[in-house]
Amino acid sequence: MLLKKQHWAGLIVFLLLIGFTAFSVNSVYLLRRSKEKARLQQEVNATTARMNDFLSECQDIMGTLEFIISQYGFPEDFKAIGESLMKSHPVVGAIEYVHDSTIIAVYPSKGNEVVIGYKILEDSTRNKEAFKAINNRSVFFAGPLKLRQGGIGIVGRMPIFKGNEYIGLTASVIYLDTLFAYSGIYPPRNPEMEYMLVKKNPNTGKQEVYLPFNNFNPDKDNYASTHIPDGDWDLYVRSKKNDVLSSLLPLAIAGVLFSLLSGFFAFYLVRQPALLQKLVNNKINEIRRHELLISLTQESARIGSWSISLDSHLLNLTPMAREIYGVDEKSLSEMKDFISIGFDQDDKNRLEQALRNCINKGKSFDIDVKINRAFEGEPYWVRVTGLIHAEDGKYSIYGATQDIDNHVKTSHERSVILSSIQDAFVACDNDWNVIYWNNAAEKLFNISNESIRGKKLLDFIHQHTQNSMFKEFFQSKSITETYNFEFYSSVLSIWCEVSMYKMPSGFTAYIKDVTERHTYVQKIEEQNKVLKDIAWTQSHIVRAPLARLLGGIDLLSYETDKEKAERLMVIIKDSAQELDDIVKEIIEKTDEEL
């Protein structure tokens, strides 16, 4: 009976462990498949983020050009503006301006001459996605398609409206090879991955595939995908080598052997239930930690994490952090390396001081610094945050690094463009507090940006112009659209033309000196008055001597009496002299007044 119990115990333990092994293998399989899915999703998110960054640069170019054209009309220096924009964004192949339906300007012109005069909205094979951008009043990227100037590319278009009136389109041409290379699709940034871009042709309704997968089965393959609405594309990513199942074979064999050995040991010892429960709980906690890390990684697009052990001073960076810093796994491994990555000495000192305060005083930090990436020769802006944390008596600094380079440089570029506008440009928040005041505004009102920032625009205008029209106008109206008006400043002795625009975050105003135009109109009105006086003289005073002159000449032609003819000659002479005096007076008055 004792042997039977031991055999039953061994069999039960064996069956339980075999079941646990099967469960564990299945759990590990699901976990690894989930991790692989998360890795693929992280890769497709990162690739999409790079592609969106690329498209954002194109939108910045089109947005800047749209702003200039909508406010000031087509610029005569389009070539210089195009050269400046493409110098800041070299990833774009060409910039175009479509007036109404026709492309009238392109930069660079060399190699793109063929598109000048092309009526895009009249081409039924190309106009559907252009109309989509116009109807939605938003940017849309058409293609990939065969470009008229050669090659395969994508054309981004941004509509230009003045009020509700459609004016045209700004466009940027992106070559497909450039988009793939910048996004890390081809050649692949990650050699373990392969990528596929799918687009539904708006004319045929058929799907067009670029870099297609071999033997792709959407129902069985492990892949990740995302939709990119700006171009109506679907991006797929899958691993070139799927070894999830084969990697589980050693685990399965080990599980079977362990079950057999445990079954034999069960003859002598029955395992305590608490031990098995603890093992299960550990597995569950491990799975939950992995799920949490995967979730954090997915949510933190373009944010990399790092940690520094204060015992060993060793630095650990996530793959995204290494990508932001532009280093491989062998580089940037210690805290001193982390400090030295600053672009200049001031940035290094700030980062070093932040880490020192964090270690000595427990202060968390949040700073923006310029780093020196290995493959770039210019500063790259990042935001670095960190805090100190203790675990099991050991202290470490945990932090995150966010890529803010594009945001900082784009903001600087916009500031430079706005500062170069010749008219006074003012931006306010919804409470009319000044948040931007360009160089032309400083020159017109003789007040600096620093002294006006944060003050009420309405109070300032009333104080510095002594004209209440501006203040009364905006106190009596709820600004929901564009308004234009003029007022006279007795302090500045000038006429000002004001154009106000309602923005989601506040208001913008363009203030222009139009004194010269008012002076010119006043002179024209004075000249019109003189011309009216001259016209009255011609129609009344000139008529009398002219009538006598014509009548005398007519009578003289029939008069045969010599004495009467001589009297008529005197009348004709006197009338001619009177007419000559009137003409001289008109000429003198014209010279004096005009």
- 36-78 pLDDT, tens digit per residue, is 888 888 888 999 998 888 888 888 888 888 889 888 888 888 8
Residue 544 lies in a domain: yes
Question: What gap in Å lies between CA 182 and CA 47, rounded to an integer?
Answer: 9
67 & 154 share domain: yes
Residue 429 lies in a domain: yes
Which carries the bigger pLDDT value, residue 411 or residue 151? 151
What does the pLDDT read at residue 274? 46
Using the predicted structure, report yes or no on whether residue 509 has a pLDDT greater than 50.
yes
Number of domains composing the chain:
4
177 & 69 share domain: yes
Residue 401 lies in a domain: no
Using the predicted structure, report yes or no on whether residue 296 has a pLDDT greater than 50.
yes
527 & 451 share domain: no
Whole-model pTM over 0.75: no
445 & 534 share domain: no
The whole-number average pLDDT for the span 217-231 is 85
For all residues of the chain together, what is the average pLDDT? 79
What does the pLDDT read at residue 298? 44
458 & 527 share domain: no
Question: With helix as H, strand as E and coil as C, how does 420-434 read?
Answer: CCCCEEEEEECCCEE
What is the band of 1 on the pLDDT scale with cuts at 50, 70, 90? Answer: very low
pLDDT in tens, 108-118: 988 888 999 99
Q: Please list the residues that pair with 228 across neighbouring strands.
A: 233
428 & 545 share domain: no
CATH number at residue 112: 3.30.450.20
pLDDT in tens, 378-392: 788 888 889 988 888
458 & 550 share domain: no
65 & 176 share domain: yes
Residue 174 lies in a domain: yes
CATH number at residue 531: 1.10.287
Handedness of CA 449, 452, 457, 460 (dihedral sign): negative
579 & 470 share domain: no
61 & 171 share domain: yes
User: For 248, which DSSP code?
Assistant: G
Residue 528 lies in a domain: yes
* Domain region containing 69: 56-181
Residue 391 lies in a domain: no
Residue 362 lies in a domain: no
pLDDT in tens, 271-283: 455 455 667 778 7
176 & 67 share domain: yes
- Strands (DSSP E) found in 284-393: 303-309, 315-317, 365-371, 380-391
The whole-number average pLDDT for the span 453-460 is 74
Report the side by side order of strands in the sheet with 365-371. 315-317, 303-309, 394-403, 380-391, 365-371
Burial of 473 (0-12, 13-18, 19+ CB in 10 A): middle
Q: What are phi and psi of 200, to 5 degrees?
A: -85, 120
The whole-number average pLDDT for the span 277-301 is 68
Residue 206 lies in a domain: no
* CA R_g for the chain: 41
177 & 279 share domain: no
